[in-house]
Amino acid sequence: MKILDEPRYVCALGAMQTIQAINRAIPILHASSGCASKLAGSIAGTTGDSGYLNPQTYPCTNIGETEVVFGGEDKLRNVIENSLKVVDGDLFVVLSGCTTEIVGDDIGQIVSEFEDSDKPIVSVSTAGFKGSNIQGHEWVLKAIINQYLTRLPKGEKIKGLVNIWGPVPSFDPYWLGNIRELENLVRELGLIPNSIFGEFRGIENLNKVPLAEFNLLVSPWVGLESVQLLEKKFGTPFLHYPTLPIGAHETSAFLRKVSAFAGLDSSNVEALIEKREKEYYYYVERSVDIFFENRTASRAFSLVSTAANVLAFSKFLVNDLGLMPKTQYITEGVPEEFHKQITEYFNEFSYGITADVTFSTDGYLIHRQIEEDDYSGPPLIIGSIFEKKLARKLDGNFVCISIPIKEKVVLHSSYVGYHGGLKLLEDIYTNVYQSFN
């Protein structure tokens, strides 16, 4: 048996937060009592994310000893029936927990009995022993595609409509602000962004997913199976852009890539980039001495976070700020099949700079490796609240950007785009000043 210290993810049932992020979508849990509140607390923490329906009030079968012995299908049928009557939702998604799958309850069969309901209902197998909440997020998206979107009447493609996929709701504390900024960037290109997550999106935006001209996935690996499925089911091509764009270098590259994929006029895009970069560098140049003349931070950094965050923040720190990467740590339990490709992304920094990558879910081992590394001065450590004590021990600087994030409250902040890069600079060097004082 392997014991993990400070794991950064929860079980697959945690994908309930993906459903929660779709406005007026209702998770129905076929699981033991307490699962929802414990998982919500572990994922969201101080970021809240109660949304349309608080996790404390999710419909749940509250499986106990009786259901373990005799099965819980009758109880699930009753909970679904009453949820459809009582809860005012637009989409219902039934998720299974460990206990119910161990005893063999067939949630797919039970859900199929409600196919003719006024409101759509789908089922997803999310037993904790099958994987993490990150994998569960993907399974939820695929179930919605297969069991709901494929049954919608076929419609004409909407010119310029782009589905945006990427940040995992709640698991990324900045997910909502980041998705909104991705929408803004796509909108600036003259395209029509479509996201299913967050306020005022919901079922209306979900119904438009098959009508998009293309899907835009901004993630190293999470969501790749979903956009591939959308291409198979609806013939919708997808652009896979692995790096969440932060700062001028990556945001400009992002705009050029999306523009080229959409077949837009390059001269218009270059004019937009010139305008946005001019503004960005104006703010940077005003404070350049802060970034390059301080004596309280070395030029070296390490990140301890998800693949999406580690790649995005590393590229910004190297390409925009000129810092040097030490070993970078990816913590969400990335399936081994994606390791090689993700590692190659860290060979694509400017000036031929590369970074070593370690895939690990064990906070204890990660911290020991960081302690043994040579940063030639106070290191910059970016990660979760777990890394705060480590940074202090090394007399380093610390920024908290991933769960558990019990360091700050995140409402609509974003690190994406030109403004997001400036926000990150503010957060990093505010911390440098605070540690100095």
Is residue 138 located within the same domain as residue 173?
A: no
Give residue-wise pLDDT tens across range 130-140: 889 999 999 99
* Residues 362-400: b if buried by 16+ CB within 10 A, e if exposed: bbeebbeebeeeebeebbbbbbbbbbbebbeebebbbbb
Task: Report residue 376's pLDDT band, with 50, 70 and 90 as the boundaries.
Answer: confident
Model pLDDT, residue 50: 67
Within 129-270, strands assigned E span 161-165, 192-194, 214-218, 238-241
Alpha carbon of 193 to those of 159, 165, 213, 269: distances in Å? 11, 10, 11, 17
Assess whether 90 and 195 both reside in one domain. no
* 212 and 199 Cβ atoms separated by less than 8 Å: no
* Structure tokens, 182: 């991705």
Q: What is the pLDDT of residue 42?
A: 72
pLDDT, greater one: 362 or 71: 362
Same domain membership, residue 175 and residue 46: no
Q: Are 84 and 28 in contact (CB under 8 A)?
A: no
5 within some domain: no
Closest by CA position to 132, among listed 231, 7, 262: 7
Q: Are residues 220 and 111 located together in one domain of the fold?
A: no
Which tokens go with 137? 């997020």
Q: Say if 30 falls within a structural domain.
A: yes
Higher pLDDT, 432 or 279: 279
Q: Do 298 and 404 sit in the same domain of this protein?
A: yes
Classify 229 as helix, strand or coil.
Answer: helix
User: Does residue 259 share a domain with residue 121?
Assistant: no
Residues 187 and 265 in one domain: yes
- Look at residue 380 and tell me whether its pLDDT is greater than 90: yes
Output the pLDDT for position 189: 98
Q: Which domain holds residue 97?
A: 12-151
Cα-flanking dihedrals φ and ψ of residue 70, to 5°?
-110, -5
Q: Which amino acid, residue 64? A: G
CATH code at position 102? 3.40.50.1980
* Average confidence (pLDDT) over 359-387: 93
**Of 111, 177, 131, nearest to 14 (Cα)?**
131
Average pLDDT along the chain: 91
What whole-number distance in Å separates Cα of residue 364 and Cα of residue 204?
45
pLDDT at 154: 92
Of 276, 301, 329, which residue constitutes the final position of a domain?
276
At 259, the amino acid letter reads S
Domain count, the chain: 3
Residue 246 has pLDDT above 90, yes or no: yes
CB 136 within 8 A of CB 18: yes
Asked whether residue 272 falls in the same domain as residue 295, the answer is: no
User: Do the Cβ atoms of 139 and 82 come closer than 8 Å?
Assistant: no
- Beta carbons within 8 Å of 223's beta carbon, 6+ residues apart: 138, 141, 165, 166, 217
Indicate whether 68 belongs to any domain: yes
pLDDT class for 157, splitting at 50, 70, 90? very high
